[in-house]
Amino acid sequence: MERKTALPLFCFSGVIMVFLFIVFYLCQPGMAADGSTLSQNDGYAAPLTEDFSGLSWSGSFEKLHKKISCEYAFTDWKKIDWEYLYKKTGPKIDNAQKSNDFTAYYLALKEYLYSIPDGHVYMTSIHEIDNKFIGGGFGFSAIKLSNGKLIANWVDGSGEAYAKGVRPGAEIIEWNGRPVEDVLDKVPVIFGSNPATNEDLVNQRVRYLTRSPINTSVTITFSNIDRSRGKISLCSYDDKRLSLRKNYPACVVSDGLRDLILDAEDPQDPPLSMVEKRFLMGNIGYIRVWGEIDLDLNGIGEAPSTLGLFRDALSEFKKAGVRGLILDIRNNVGGLDSMVADMLASFYTEKVLYEYQNAYNTVTGKMEICPDPSVKTSQSDNGLYIDPADPYFEGPVVALINSKCVSSGEGLAKGINDLLQGETMGFYGTNGSFGLTGDEAKISGNIVVRWPYGQSLDKDKKIQIDSRNGKGGVLPSIRIPMTLDNALKIAEGVDVELERAIEFINSYTGERAGEI
């Protein structure tokens, strides 16, 4: 599955120059990371990038709508009503054009695209505009517990909320005089990533509840752990988005690679290698995979083989006789499905289908199964297979996952979960966005819009992993509940998920566990 892209990224401190070929955000239509293109044989042609940026706002939107509504891969699967979206958005774009209001134009596009529950649907973010709406924080971050309560998991000790009595663990009961649960249903999430599942949608609403324009006043009613209560007024201030960084997963799991891709002002611990490995106490092997692609993260002029690094780590762990393996794919940005199949080959003893790729053909105007361009295969059915290969690792494997594990990373999660000796573990499931990415249009305002033009199919030729009706992704076979204790620990930077994975490997009996 082609989930890869090209972005030149330059870090001018003299440290690195990286050409990133990553899925999810930036793609070159029909092109694999190895430079090959989707097959043009047998009358197949993949969608190509189109440039509508020279048109008016209304004109470029009309062209965009025509293209995306025709080529988007999951219209039927997700029941997207394109006609309704056009009628709803078109007048907003026209009005923005008449009044020369670029912010209104930008927001209308955001609302249009965020009506599509797919993490692979993306448009350029303009931080200057975003900050007008979410640049302010109230001195605390929020998280929703498994029991449904909304709590302040972190409170700024130097902030107004703390001064007025809010403490970590406080339950937020009311927001501006209304039950907080009712308010959450109305929180916009258009300034974050596009949520594909209901689970991710709820979590993003919780995160952005505490964001607002600077100098916004709000009244909250809260109850601390010691049962002291209060009703206070707060005013939002420029906290440099601190409340977002104190929420899960940012407070525990680095998003450094994604930050690099998005050219963030302050990247969060950028990785030095696509594969990180170490031995954990108890003779447990740990491998973190940031994405399934080869990247030159150190500016050496050559990208190390991510698959090679992965297999080298497995060989070292196998030689050391580790008790088990923890495969950390939280915040995994995706990459090449062919690499995922090759990684999974070290855990399988029989050849099994990974997927069929069902892509939009611009020649016929239909979805058609086509071969993965990054795989040289003689398979007559055009399927991508997991073909057992050395080194073979037969011990227990726990894949740590979360909602920022997206695209090809989700295929790695599924492949581990399907093993008898494999488990997926985490607070939340994966993103639920597994489509074939690469479709793109440039529109007025220096904005690029991207979306998937293909599907991943299972052995029965049914769509797999991509969300539908709010459900999708790979769920944890061992789900860790978000208790009050766990929420407070992660706010302090404690990696609860990793701790639970270590406990599981140390007590492994060969049986499925469920929630712990």
Is the confidence at residue 155, as pLDDT, over 90? yes
> 98: burial class by Cβ within 10 Å (0-12, 13-18, 19+)?
exposed
Instruction: Determine the pLDDT at residue 93.
Output: 98
Task: Give the residue-averaged pLDDT of 175-187.
Answer: 97
Instruction: Provide the pLDDT confidence category of residue 269 given band limits of 50, 70 and 90.
Output: confident
297 within 8 A of 18, measured Cβ to Cβ: yes
What residue spans of 323-473 are helical by DSSP H?
337-344, 408-417
287 within 8 A of 303, measured Cβ to Cβ: no
Q: What is the pLDDT of residues 83-108, one digit of tens each?
A: 999 999 999 999 999 999 999 999 99
CB atoms < 10 A from the CB of 312, how many? 14
Residue 110 lies in a domain: no
Mean pLDDT (the chain) is 90
387 within 8 A of 61, measured Cβ to Cβ: no
Q: What is the pLDDT of residues 327-336, one digit of tens each?
A: 999 999 999 9
Is residue 200 located within the same domain as residue 330? no
Residue 92 lies in a domain: no
Please report, for residues 207, 250, 273, 297, 489, the alpha-carbon distance to residue 268 in angstroms, rounded to integers and kept in the order given. Answer: 18, 9, 15, 14, 20
Task: Give the residue-averaged pLDDT of 432-449.
Answer: 95
Token digits of residue 364: 């016929």
Task: Give the residue-averaged pLDDT of 308-327.
Answer: 98
Is residue 210 located within the same domain as residue 357? no
Q: How far apart are CA 313 and CA 317, in angstroms?
A: 6
Q: Which residues of 420-446 are buried (b: 16+ CB within 10 A; e: fewer)?
A: ebbbbbbbbbbbbbbbbbbbbbbbbee
Tally of structural domains, the chain: 2
Residue 337 lies in a domain: yes
Q: How far apart are CA 129 and CA 132, in angstroms?
A: 5
Residue 475 lies in a domain: yes
Q: Interhelix angle for 484-491 vs 496-506, to 10°?
A: 120
Task: Give the residue-averaged pLDDT of 384-408.
Answer: 97
Higher pLDDT, 375 or 365: 365
241 within 8 A of 183, measured Cβ to Cβ: no
Instruction: Determine the pLDDT at residue 24.
Output: 37
Nearest Cα to Cα of residue 435 among 72, 114, 190: 72
DSSP letter at 178 equals E
Q: How far apart are CA 480 and CA 146, in angstroms?
A: 9
Q: What is the pLDDT of residues 106-131, one digit of tens each?
A: 999 999 999 999 999 999 999 999 99
Residue found under tokens 């430079």: 35
Instruction: Determine the pLDDT at residue 447.
Output: 97
96 within 8 A of 108, measured Cβ to Cβ: yes
> CA-based Rg of the chain, rounded to a whole angstrom?
23
DSSP letter at 42 equals G
Residue 59 lies in a domain: no
Instruction: Provide the pLDDT confidence category of residue 261 given band limits of 50, 70 and 90.
Output: confident
Of 196, 213, 240, the residue that ends a domain is 240
Please report, for residues 55, 401, 480, the alpha-carbon distance to residue 99 in angstroms, rounded to integers and kept in the order given. Answer: 17, 46, 50
Q: Coil, helix or strand for 59? A: helix
Which segment of 1-15, 56-70, 139-153 scores lowest on mean pLDDT? 1-15
pLDDT above 90: percentage of residues in the chain: 83
Is residue 202 located within the same domain as residue 326? no
The CATH number linked to 159 is 2.30.42.10
Instruction: Provide the pLDDT confidence category of residue 371 given band limits of 50, 70 and 90.
Output: confident
Residue 223 lies in a domain: yes
Instruction: Determine the pLDDT at residue 196.
Output: 98
Peptide bond just before 391 cis, omega within 30 deg: yes
Instruction: Determine the pLDDT at residue 77.
Output: 98
DSSP 228-263: -EEEEEEE-EE-TTHHHHTSTTTTTS--HHHHHHTT
Instruction: Determine the pLDDT at residue 420.
Output: 96
Is residue 375 located within the same domain as residue 304? yes
How many Cα atoms within 13 Å fall on the side-chain side of residue 458?
10
Instruction: Determine the pLDDT at residue 18.
Output: 37
What region does 59 belong to: left with phi over 0, alpha with psi -120 to 50, or beta? alpha
Is residue 489 located within the same domain as residue 356? yes
Is residue 282 located within the same domain as residue 389? yes
Is residue 223 located within the same domain as residue 315? no
Is residue 230 located within the same domain as residue 278? no
Is the confidence at residue 377, as pLDDT, over 90? no
Is residue 222 located within the same domain as residue 280? no
Instruction: Provide the pLDDT confidence category of residue 446 given band limits of 50, 70 and 90.
Output: very high
Instruction: Determine the pLDDT at residue 258.
Output: 83
Task: Give the residue-averaged pLDDT of 176-182.
Answer: 97
Instruction: Determine the pLDDT at residue 15.
Output: 30
Residue 315 lies in a domain: yes
Nearest Cα to Cα of residue 369 among 113, 24, 38, 91: 38
Instruction: Determine the pLDDT at residue 268.
Output: 74
Query: Considering all CA atoms of the chain, what is the largest pairwise distance in Å, rounded to the nearest integer?
Result: 71
Instruction: Determine the pLDDT at residue 23.
Output: 39
Residue 420 lies in a domain: yes
Instruction: Determine the pLDDT at residue 178.
Output: 98
Q: How far apart are CA 408 and CA 2, in angstroms?
A: 9
> 128: burial class by Cβ within 10 Å (0-12, 13-18, 19+)?
exposed
**Please, what is the Cα angle at 132 between 61 and 487, to 5 degrees?**
105
Q: How far apart are CA 125 and CA 122, in angstroms?
A: 9
Instruction: Determine the pLDDT at residue 25.
Output: 36
* β-strands 397-400, 422-426 pairing: parallel
Task: Give the residue-averaged pLDDT of 212-221.
Answer: 98
pLDDT above 70: percentage of residues in the chain: 88
Which segment of 30-39, 87-96, 153-162 scores lowest on mean pLDDT? 30-39
The CATH number linked to 296 is 3.90.226.10
Is residue 371 located within the same domain as residue 276? yes
Query: 359: domain range?
Result: 256-436+455-506
